[in-house]
Structure 1
Protein backbone atom coordinates (compact mmCIF):
# COMPACT_ATOMS: atom_id res chain seq x y z
CA UNK A 1 0.00 0.00 0.00
CA UNK A 2 1.16 3.51 -0.58
CA UNK A 3 -0.59 5.88 1.78
CA UNK A 4 -2.92 8.57 0.51
CA UNK A 5 -1.81 7.91 -3.08
CA UNK A 6 -3.07 4.30 -3.01
CA UNK A 7 -5.34 3.53 -5.94
CA UNK A 8 -5.35 -0.27 -6.22
CA UNK A 9 -8.97 -1.48 -5.90
CA UNK A 10 -8.12 -4.45 -3.65
CA UNK A 11 -6.07 -2.28 -1.30
CA UNK A 12 -8.84 0.33 -1.13
CA UNK A 13 -11.41 -2.40 -0.48
CA UNK A 14 -9.28 -3.80 2.33
CA UNK A 15 -8.87 -0.37 3.92
CA UNK A 16 -12.61 0.25 3.75
CA UNK A 17 -13.32 -3.12 5.40
CA UNK A 18 -10.80 -2.44 8.17
CA UNK A 19 -12.40 0.93 8.93
CA UNK A 20 -15.90 -0.57 8.94
CA UNK A 21 -15.20 -2.90 11.88
CA UNK A 22 -15.26 0.00 14.35
CA UNK A 23 -18.77 0.84 13.13
CA UNK A 24 -20.26 -2.59 13.83
CA UNK A 25 -23.00 -2.14 16.45
CA UNK A 26 -21.62 -4.94 18.62
CA UNK A 27 -18.21 -3.24 18.75
CA UNK A 28 -19.35 0.37 19.13
CA UNK A 29 -17.49 2.06 21.94
CA UNK A 30 -15.03 -0.80 22.37
CA UNK A 31 -13.15 -0.67 19.06
CA UNK A 32 -11.48 2.30 17.41
CA UNK A 33 -10.30 2.80 13.88
CA UNK A 34 -7.13 4.79 13.37
CA UNK A 35 -6.54 6.06 9.86
CA UNK A 36 -2.85 5.74 9.04
CA UNK A 37 -2.56 6.62 5.35
CA UNK A 38 -1.04 10.02 6.15
CA UNK A 39 1.80 8.31 8.03
CA UNK A 40 3.21 6.75 4.85
CA UNK A 41 6.75 7.88 4.06
CA UNK A 42 8.11 7.34 0.57
CA UNK A 43 11.09 5.13 -0.09
CA UNK A 44 13.36 8.11 -0.72
CA UNK A 45 13.10 9.04 2.98
CA UNK A 46 13.01 5.46 4.27
CA UNK A 47 15.67 2.81 4.81
CA UNK A 48 14.10 0.38 2.33
CA UNK A 49 12.12 0.66 -0.85
CA UNK A 50 10.04 -2.45 -0.26
CA UNK A 51 6.70 -0.70 -0.80
CA UNK A 52 5.35 -2.83 2.04
CA UNK A 53 5.90 -2.83 5.79
CA UNK A 54 5.69 0.95 5.51
CA UNK A 55 9.12 1.03 3.84
CA UNK A 56 10.54 0.06 7.25
CA UNK A 57 10.22 3.70 8.27
CA UNK A 58 10.62 4.22 12.03
CA UNK A 59 8.79 7.55 11.98
CA UNK A 60 5.79 5.85 10.43
CA UNK A 61 5.84 3.09 13.05
CA UNK A 62 6.04 5.70 15.80
CA UNK A 63 3.16 7.76 14.39
CA UNK A 64 0.95 4.68 14.04
CA UNK A 65 1.70 3.59 17.60
CA UNK A 66 1.10 7.06 18.97
CA UNK A 67 -2.24 7.39 17.17
CA UNK A 68 -3.33 3.94 18.34
CA UNK A 69 -2.31 4.81 21.90
CA UNK A 70 -4.42 7.98 21.82
CA UNK A 71 -7.38 6.00 20.48
CA UNK A 72 -6.95 3.43 23.27
CA UNK A 73 -6.85 6.17 25.90
CA UNK A 74 -10.17 7.50 24.62
CA UNK A 75 -11.71 4.02 24.68
CA UNK A 76 -10.45 3.34 28.21
CA UNK A 77 -11.81 6.67 29.46
CA UNK A 78 -15.36 5.77 28.43
CA UNK A 79 -17.65 4.01 30.85
CA UNK A 80 -18.62 0.53 29.66
CA UNK A 81 -22.08 0.20 28.15
CA UNK A 82 -24.58 -1.64 30.29
Structure 2
Protein backbone atom coordinates (compact mmCIF):
# COMPACT_ATOMS: atom_id res chain seq x y z
CA UNK A 1 0.00 0.00 0.00
CA UNK A 2 1.23 3.48 -0.87
CA UNK A 3 0.58 6.73 0.96
CA UNK A 4 1.06 10.21 -0.50
CA UNK A 5 -0.28 13.75 -0.36
CA UNK A 6 -2.36 14.98 -3.31
CA UNK A 7 -4.43 18.01 -4.30
CA UNK A 8 -7.89 17.22 -5.64
CA UNK A 9 -8.55 18.45 -9.18
CA UNK A 10 -12.00 16.94 -9.75
CA UNK A 11 -13.90 14.05 -11.27
CA UNK A 12 -12.62 14.03 -14.84
CA UNK A 13 -13.10 11.37 -17.54
CA UNK A 14 -14.60 8.90 -15.05
CA UNK A 15 -11.58 9.25 -12.71
CA UNK A 16 -10.94 10.99 -9.41
CA UNK A 17 -8.07 13.21 -10.52
CA UNK A 18 -5.38 14.45 -8.15
CA UNK A 19 -2.01 16.18 -8.52
CA UNK A 20 0.97 15.35 -6.31
CA UNK A 21 3.40 17.91 -4.87
CA UNK A 22 5.62 17.56 -7.96
CA UNK A 23 2.77 18.38 -10.33
CA UNK A 24 2.25 14.80 -11.58
CA UNK A 25 -1.39 14.01 -12.33
CA UNK A 26 -2.72 10.76 -10.89
CA UNK A 27 -6.10 9.38 -11.96
CA UNK A 28 -7.77 7.11 -9.42
CA UNK A 29 -10.20 4.77 -11.19
CA UNK A 30 -11.86 3.53 -8.01
CA UNK A 31 -12.63 4.86 -4.56
CA UNK A 32 -14.69 3.55 -1.66
CA UNK A 33 -18.27 4.80 -1.89
CA UNK A 34 -18.27 6.09 1.69
CA UNK A 35 -15.18 8.21 0.99
CA UNK A 36 -16.81 9.67 -2.13
CA UNK A 37 -19.80 10.72 -0.02
CA UNK A 38 -17.83 11.96 3.01
CA UNK A 39 -15.45 14.12 0.98
CA UNK A 40 -18.05 15.04 -1.68
CA UNK A 41 -15.75 14.04 -4.52
CA UNK A 42 -18.57 14.17 -7.08
CA UNK A 43 -19.07 17.92 -6.71
CA UNK A 44 -16.82 20.98 -6.61
CA UNK A 45 -16.73 21.48 -2.83
CA UNK A 46 -13.26 20.00 -2.17
CA UNK A 47 -11.49 20.93 -5.40
CA UNK A 48 -7.98 22.28 -4.63
CA UNK A 49 -8.01 20.72 -1.15
CA UNK A 50 -5.03 18.60 -0.10
CA UNK A 51 -5.54 15.00 1.00
CA UNK A 52 -3.38 12.26 2.42
CA UNK A 53 -4.35 9.20 0.39
CA UNK A 54 -3.62 5.55 1.04
CA UNK A 55 -3.88 3.66 -2.21
CA UNK A 56 -2.74 0.67 -4.17
CA UNK A 57 -2.08 0.00 -7.83
CA UNK A 58 -3.26 -3.09 -9.68
CA UNK A 59 -1.99 -4.28 -13.01
CA UNK A 60 -4.36 -4.00 -15.97
CA UNK A 61 -5.86 -7.30 -17.11
CA UNK A 62 -4.65 -6.65 -20.63
CA UNK A 63 -0.91 -7.25 -20.33
CA UNK A 64 -0.31 -5.47 -23.63
CA UNK A 65 -1.86 -2.25 -22.34
CA UNK A 66 0.23 0.91 -22.10
CA UNK A 67 -1.58 1.68 -18.85
CA UNK A 68 0.89 1.80 -15.94
CA UNK A 69 -1.72 0.40 -13.58
CA UNK A 70 -5.12 1.03 -12.06
CA UNK A 71 -4.99 3.35 -9.05
CA UNK A 72 -7.49 2.60 -6.28
CA UNK A 73 -8.11 4.75 -3.18
CA UNK A 74 -8.20 2.68 0.01
CA UNK A 75 -8.46 5.49 2.57
CA UNK A 76 -8.04 9.25 2.68
CA UNK A 77 -8.11 12.22 4.98
CA UNK A 78 -8.29 15.92 4.29
CA UNK A 79 -5.25 17.90 5.42
CA UNK A 80 -5.86 21.05 7.43
CA UNK A 81 -4.12 24.18 6.19
Task: Report the TM-score range of the alignment, normalised by the length of the smaller protein.
Answer: under 0.3
Q: Highest relative contact order (Cα 8 Å, sep 6+), 1 or 2?
A: 2
TM-score (norm 1): 0.21
Larger helix proportion of the pair: 1
Larger strand proportion of the pair: 2
TM-score (norm 2): 0.21
Q: Which has the larger radius of gyration?
A: 1
